[in-house]
């Protein structure tokens, strides 16, 4: 039980969010919109989503070029495996899983590829916060009565500080590698026992090498613009799925929903972001005047449409690669 306390904590948090999402709703309130939904709209939604996944694969290829040029077509299955891992394992283990698969296939050090993965997540967070701040005045409507507890404006401001701070640190480390190495060495010499220092130094050097793609403003801008395209494509999926249901909000409203939902899914939860995806999604739509039962039905279908296709594709690629997720394999790959 102690070994799996993080999993059970995530389950507990998911249950709390599900309670917040569904309180006051009867089963029929959610089922009725599901009965009348025009599910064929999911097809273009899934298609545009996979275009976004391909762009993610291109972005990762772009970030990894200084370490090793790997074709986008090679990256796409690995990115899908990573999505699958994030969707079925706790603690976003898919990020480590795709680094392990990349090591197996292309002999890219895990520490270097993880550096690029972290950079991806920082840029994703910046774009999500941009989506939120574009619609900041509307956030005043997101109160506890809309089903999402907390002051979202303050959360967005704190999140902006965290993501922009992390981005500044990574950019500085990339543009001033000698300075970054000296700072890292200072911490290693004071915090790491003597016998572990050579290995930690080696891993740190590989990690810093993974940041080389950020060494010019033009490179950083390219990564930001690519991240923007990725999340606009994902918002496009929200827009297509919306047309399966009898309501309509603006694309900007769906950008806000996308931003808040993805920021909320950084909170520990059960695998698949159960609850942490649904509660804020329903809250945003409720703030725009969508009936809560209808908002719940749409959010449920959207969640499944986001989870199922990429998870199935990732599982297929993982089986084809012959990868087994085991602690030993992760430890031995460096």
Q: Do residues 77 and 321 lie in contact, with contact meaning Cβ atoms separated by under 8 Å?
A: yes
Q: How far apart are CA 42 and CA 187, in angstroms?
A: 50
In this prediction, residue 290 carries a pLDDT of 92
3-state secondary structure the chain: CHHHHHHHHHHHHHHHHHHHHHCCCCHHHHHHHHHHCCHHHHHHHHHHHHHHHHHHHHHHHHHHCCCCCCCHHHHHHHHHHHHHHHHHCCCCCHHHHHHHHHHHHHCCCHHHHHHHHHHHHHHHHHHHHHHHHHCHHHHHHCCHHHCCCCCHHHHHHHHHHHHHHHHHHHHHHHHCHHHHHHHHHHHHHHHCCHHHHHHHHHHHHHHHHCCHHHCCHHHHHHHHHHHHHHHHHHHHHHHHHHCCCCCCCCHHHHHHHHHHHHHHCCCCCCCCCCCCCHHHHHHHHHHCCCCHHHHHHHHHHHHHHHHHHHHHHHHHHHHHHCCCCCHHHHHHCC
| One pLDDT digit (tens) per residue for the chain, 334 residues | 445 666 677 778 878 878 877 777 788 888 999 999 999 999 999 999 999 999 999 999 999 988 899 999 999 999 999 999 999 887 788 899 999 999 999 999 888 898 889 889 888 988 988 888 887 666 665 554 554 544 566 666 676 677 778 778 877 877 787 888 888 888 888 888 887 778 778 777 777 777 777 777 888 889 999 999 999 999 999 999 999 999 999 999 999 899 888 888 877 777 888 888 988 899 889 888 899 999 999 999 999 999 999 999 999 999 988 876 554 344 434 4
Q: How far apart are CA 155 and CA 19, in angstroms?
A: 21
In this prediction, residue 288 carries a pLDDT of 87
State how far Cα 73 lies from the chain centre. Answer: 21
In this prediction, residue 333 carries a pLDDT of 41
322: left (phi over 0), alpha (psi -120 to 50) or beta: left
Say which residues have a Cβ less than 8 Å from residue 296's Cβ, sequence separation at least 6.
21, 22, 25, 29, 30, 33, 278, 282
In this prediction, residue 306 carries a pLDDT of 95
* Dihedral sign, Cα of residue 233, residue 306, residue 26, residue 151: negative
**In the chain, domain spans:** 37-326
In this prediction, residue 91 carries a pLDDT of 73
Q: Do residues 219 and 59 lie in contact, with contact meaning Cβ atoms separated by under 8 Å?
A: no
Q: How far apart are CA 92 and CA 288, in angstroms?
A: 31
In this prediction, residue 328 carries a pLDDT of 39
């Amino acid at each position: 039980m102690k070994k799996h306390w993080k999993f059970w904590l995530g389950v507990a948090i998911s249950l709390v969010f599900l309670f917040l999402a569904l309180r006051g709703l009867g089963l029929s309130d959610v089922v009725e919109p599901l009965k009348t939904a025009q599910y064929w709209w999911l097809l273009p939604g899934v298609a545009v989503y996979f275009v976004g996944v391909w762009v993610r694969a291109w972005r990762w290829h772009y970030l990894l070029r200084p370490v090793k040029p790997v074709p986008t077509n090679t990256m796409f299955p690995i990115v899908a495996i990573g999505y699958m891992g994030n969707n079925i394992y706790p603690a976003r283990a898919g990020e480590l899983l795709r680094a392990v698969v990349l090591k197996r296939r292309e002999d890219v050090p895990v520490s270097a590829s993880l550096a690029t993965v972290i950079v991806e997540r920082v840029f994703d967070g910046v774009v999500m916060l941009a989506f939120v701040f574009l619609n900041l005045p509307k956030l005043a409507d997101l109160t506890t009565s809309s089903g999402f507890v907390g002051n979202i404006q303050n959360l967005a401001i704190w999140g902006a500080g965290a993501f922009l701070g992390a981005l500044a640190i990574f950019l500085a480390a990339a543009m001033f590698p000698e300075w970054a190495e000296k700072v890292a060495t200072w911490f290693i010499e004071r915090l790491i026992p003597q016998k572990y220092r050579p290995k930690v130094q080696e891993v740190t050097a590989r990690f810093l090498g993974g940041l080389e793609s950020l060494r010019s403003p033009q490179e950083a801008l390219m990564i930001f613009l690519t991240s923007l395209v990725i999340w606009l494509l994902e918002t496009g999926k929200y827009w297509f799925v919306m047309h399966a249901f009898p309501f309509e909000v603006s694309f900007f409203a769906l950008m806000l929903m996308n931003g808040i939902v993805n920021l909320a899914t950084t909170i520990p939860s059960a695998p698949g972001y159960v609850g942490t995806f649904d509660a804020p999604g329903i809250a945003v739509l409720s703030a725009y005047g969508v009936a809560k039962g209808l908002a719940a039905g749409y959010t449920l279908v959207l969640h499944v449409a986001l989870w199922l296709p990429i998870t199935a594709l990732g599982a297929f690629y993982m089986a084809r690669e012959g990868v087994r997720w085991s602690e030993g394999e992760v430890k031995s790959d460096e």
